[in-house]
Amino acid sequence: MTTRTLPPKCGAYNVAEEWMEGEPFSWERVHPVFSWYQTGNVNMAYECVDRHVEEGKGDKIALHYFTESEEETYTYKELQQEVNRWSNVLKAHGVKKGDFVFVFLPKHPYCHIAMLAAIKIGAVVGPLFEAFMEEAVKDRINDCDGEYLITDLKFLDRVNRDEIPSLKTVFTTDFELAGSDVSITKEAAEADDTADTVWVDLDDGLNIHYTSGSTGKPKGIIHAHRNMIQQYQTGRWVLDLKEGDVYWCTAHPGWVTGTVYGVFAPLLNGVTTVIHGSRFSAKSWYQVLEQAKVSVWYSAPTAYRMLMAEGDKTLNKYNLYSLRHILSVGEPLNPEVIHWGERTLNLRIHDTWWMTETGAQLVANLPTRTIKPGSMGRPIPGIEVAVLDDNGEILPAGKTGHLAIKSSWPSLMKEVWKNQEKFNSYFPYGPEWYIAGDLAYLDEDGYVFFQGRSDDMINSSGERIGPFEVESKLIEHEAVKEVGVIGKPDPVRGEIVKAFIALNPGYDGSEELLEEIRLFVRKGLAAHVAPKEIEVVEELPKTQISGKVLRRELKKRDTEKAG
């Protein structure tokens, strides 16, 4: 084994200096950090960008972008100017406060700029995952009658405008104008680099993310500008972001982690954010860590497992000594991964838990706390959790039940778009407890141990997949008569999507047909939701009364078969 020197320490952790374990904490303590505390003027984009320039940090690198062949940086001042230019273009084309602006762009500074420009003029930004195909894009924009979209020429063919009647203007980030209405980059180059911020209320809409549960199509979760309170604070205490940090969150802003901890939290904390534009490979990731001198790194267990599988030999070729703090989110972090981090990087990986709906981290291994491998950590300051039984009664330590959070907290979702019933469904036992849909138990010390979902939601590589959306697509294929989709345990990805299908008469279960069906989902929705496994069955298990497919039964049979 190669001996590695200790990574650089960065003084005491922020949380250690600012809070004593056990001390009461009120979110109001965070308010004076923001300019609105003095001025009364609220806007997330202002707090992320303009404020730093006004405080004399304009020359600091805000964004550091890499691909295998390119490298580009934006200082806070340059970011401000670019955001201003883009917001002037959006405004000139009619975008105003409260409008939905969808952003469908790859991991690139333009994605950050587009989001911040829309927010600066009070619009509600809807980042779309870069792998979404036609139907996934259409369903989301149609659900909230989105009028504006900022995209890339490469993605434009996945936007079927005939089927998105609400769409008024499509902005593209490329200079040629093939099929778009406005080249935002071209117009921005000529636009004024100063712009007025549109002031909003803390409770006004900030962003919308569509997210899956076990039933129905994805729902639009809307968050408000007040989220910045918790997003700043968790950036400071959980990610331990400090003035000199170079921070890399590997998620795309189409996932909530990529928006909250890839855009807002690091910029609110005024650090340098790394954006990596290439696809995952161990080599390119290690290279980014080395070249950008990343000090704080936030990723997901699947990525860590993939790096682990690549072996120490690859890792040891890189100088990763700038790393000082590593975190994980999105799926269970298995103890082997924590041990791998300790052994190879001399760092413990800190798990964090939260959801799209919760808007920021709620349970975490603060850098100052002892990690118990297998546990997600404990509630962060200001958050109280409990485990409830099916009647909403609090269970004692060691008993598994519904993971519940005492409401409310600053970044809890504002609403589920046009679906009050769905919003209420998170509070089945009354307004006191938000129910996550996760099953967990607490130990005697209050550490939270994740035990699975209480519904059929699938978690593959930390990506949340609703079986209903996949089933709806599969059933559109002419060969498919009936379908049930489940998450099947997988050693690297946590779960993979597995579909059970019954075929219409005249179709065989040949490999070609199954491949065609897989491709049908891949091309219609997105690659990551396409079933990795398809099993043809005569008939699917169903409930007697409603005839609904019993996913639970499929899962049980599948597990038994796997032995």
- Residues in touch with ligand WTA (CB under 6 A): 211, 256-257, 329-333, 351-356, 376, 436-438, 450, 453, 459, 464
Bridge partners, 486 (sequence order): 498
How many angstroms from the chain centroid is the CA of residue 382?
22
Tell the smallest beta-carbon distance from residue 299 to ligand WTA (Å).
12
Q: What is the spatial distance between Cα 548 and Cα 471, in angstroms, rounded to a whole number?
A: 12
508 Cβ contact list (under 8 Å, min separation 6): none
Q: Which is nearer to ligand WTA, 223 or 464 (CB)?
A: 464
Residue 528 Cβ, how far from ligand WTA at the closest point, in Å?
Answer: 12
Which tokens hold the place of 517? Answer: 């069906």
Q: How far is the CB of 223 from ligand WTA (least distance, A)?
A: 12
* Nearer residue to ligand WTA within complex by CB, 204 or 438: 438
Using DSSP bridges, classify how beta strands 378-379 and 363-364 pair: parallel, antiparallel or unpaired: antiparallel
**Token pair 């333009």 is at which residue?**
110
Neighbour count for residue 97 (Cβ, 10 Å)? 13
Identify which of residues 89 and 329 has a Cβ nearer to ligand WTA in the complex. Answer: 329
261 vs 285, beta carbon nearer ligand WTA: 261
Task: Name the β-bridge partners of 406.
Answer: 433
Alpha helices in 378-475 (DSSP H): 420-424, 467-475
Locate the DSSP E strands across 84-130: 100-104, 124-127
Q: Cβ closer to ligand WTA: 185 or 358?
A: 358
Closer CB to ligand WTA, residue 65 or residue 248?
Answer: 248
Instruction: Report the distance separating Cα 248 and Cα 15, nearest Å.
Output: 20
Q: Quote the DSSP letter at residue 194.
A: -
Return the residue nearest ligand WTA (CB atom).
356
Among 294, 285, 350, smallest CA distance to 317 is for 285
Instruction: Report the residue number, 36 or 450, with the smaller CB distance to ligand WTA.
Output: 450
Residue 459: CB minimum distance to ligand WTA, A: 6
Give min distance, CB of 352 to ligand WTA, in A.
Answer: 6
Q: Nearest approach, Cβ of 363 to ligand WTA (angstroms)?
A: 8
Q: Which helix (H) or strand (E) holds 554?
A: helix 551-562
Residue in 284, 269, 234 with CA at minimum distance from that of residue 107: 284
Task: Determine the 3-state secondary structure of 555 from DSSP.
Answer: helix
CB of 452 to ligand WTA, least distance (A): 8
CB of 351 to ligand WTA, least distance (A): 5
* Dist. CA 522–CA 538, nearest whole Å: 24
Which is closer to ligand WTA, CB of 110 or CB of 354? 354
261, 251 Cβ separation under 8 angstroms: yes
220 or 332: CB nearest ligand WTA: 332
Closest to 285 in 3D by CA, of 332, 248, 252, 338: 248
Q: Minimum CB separation from ligand WTA for residue 544, in Å? A: 30
As measured in angstroms, the least distance from the Cβ of 129 to ligand WTA is 11
Report, in Å, the least distance between residue 328 CB and ligand WTA: 7
Sheet of 219-224: strands edge to edge?
182-183, 169-172, 148-151, 100-104, 124-127, 205-211, 219-224, 415-416
Alpha carbon distance 20, 370 (integer Å): 15
| 453 neighbors 382 (Cβ within 8 angstroms) | no
Nearest Cα neighbor of 489 from 410, 387, 558, 421 is 558
